[in-house]
Amino acid sequence: MEQLSFDISRSSKSRVIATSGNFQIELLNHAGEEDFPQLIEISKHLAKEYGDPAVLTKSTIRKYFNKPGSLPFIARYRNEIIGYIIGIPVEALHSEPWAQLDDNFGKSNTLYTYAFVILSRFKGHGYAKMLKRVYLNWAKKKDGIRYITGHVKEGVSKKFTGDIRIVNRVDNWQGTGIPFEYYRRDLGPQPGEFQKHNPPLAEQV
């Protein structure tokens, strides 16, 4: 029985949400240790722009990808993980001052986009767009979720469409020396509406 438990912890449990040829998007119900190395390696490409805290560790994968209420998706091409996007309840970041200052903190109606990354060699095929679309649509259908928030470089949110509001700014984001803005996207009350713009923490590598 102990061996069975070990095998379960190593294997990821996911559900295929969308496919296109050799590409597929999976809703990750459980991140298994067998996929940790790929997730960590991909996350390193976020460090330059978003700081070292954006790099995943075994601990943060377990903490956020496997957290009840999180919304993690992975993108695979021929069984290789090539990207991921994850939304976590903003309350999960209770140690962050900016999170506690969010008007919706404690209301369980907000997902914070912890990270979104697609490897550059897979850009230009619509894979990032598909991943983004699936994430936004599923977030909108998630019980109780009305808002998605995230951090982007100052001025970037001006390019977004939809109901976007800047909540606050951080002069030096994660030690990068770069000013970031924290914005909120109102998903609206009706399910099924499609948002056609880039979510936060998007990185082409």
- Look at residue 192 in the predicted model and tell me its pLDDT: 46
Q: How far apart are CA 93 and CA 114, in angstroms?
A: 10
Residue that has been written with the tokens 């949400």 in this structure:
17
Pairing type for strands 202-204 and 180-186 reads unpaired
pLDDT in tens, the chain (205 residues): 444 444 557 888 999 999 999 999 999 999 999 999 999 999 998 887 888 888 999 999 999 999 999 999 999 999 899 999 999 999 999 998 889 999 999 999 999 999 999 998 898 888 988 998 899 999 999 999 999 999 988 998 888 777 899 999 989 888 888 899 999 999 988 444 444 444 444 444 3
Query: Which residue pairs, CB below 8 angstroms and at least 24 apart, start in 104-110?
Result: 104/146, 104/147, 104/184, 108/69, 108/144, 109/144, 109/145, 109/146, 109/147, 110/145, 110/146, 110/147, 110/148, 110/149, 110/184
Residues 6 or more apart in contact with residue 192 via CB below 8 angstroms: 137, 140, 141
**How many helices and strands (H and E) does the chain possess?**
6, 9
- Look at residue 191 in the predicted model and tell me its pLDDT: 47
Q: Within the chain, where are the H helices?
A: 2-10, 36-43, 47-50, 58-60, 97-100, 127-141
- Look at residue 13 in the predicted model and tell me its pLDDT: 93
Residues 6 or more apart in contact with residue 170 via CB below 8 angstroms: 98, 151, 179, 180, 181, 182
Q: How many distinct structural domains can be found in the chain?
A: 1
Q: Which two tokens stand for residue 204?
A: 């082409």
What's the CATH number where 189 sits? Answer: 3.40.630.30
Q: Which domain does 54 fall in, by range?
A: 2-204
Q: Which two tokens stand for residue 115?
A: 């990270």
Q: Which two tokens stand for residue 10?
A: 């190593």
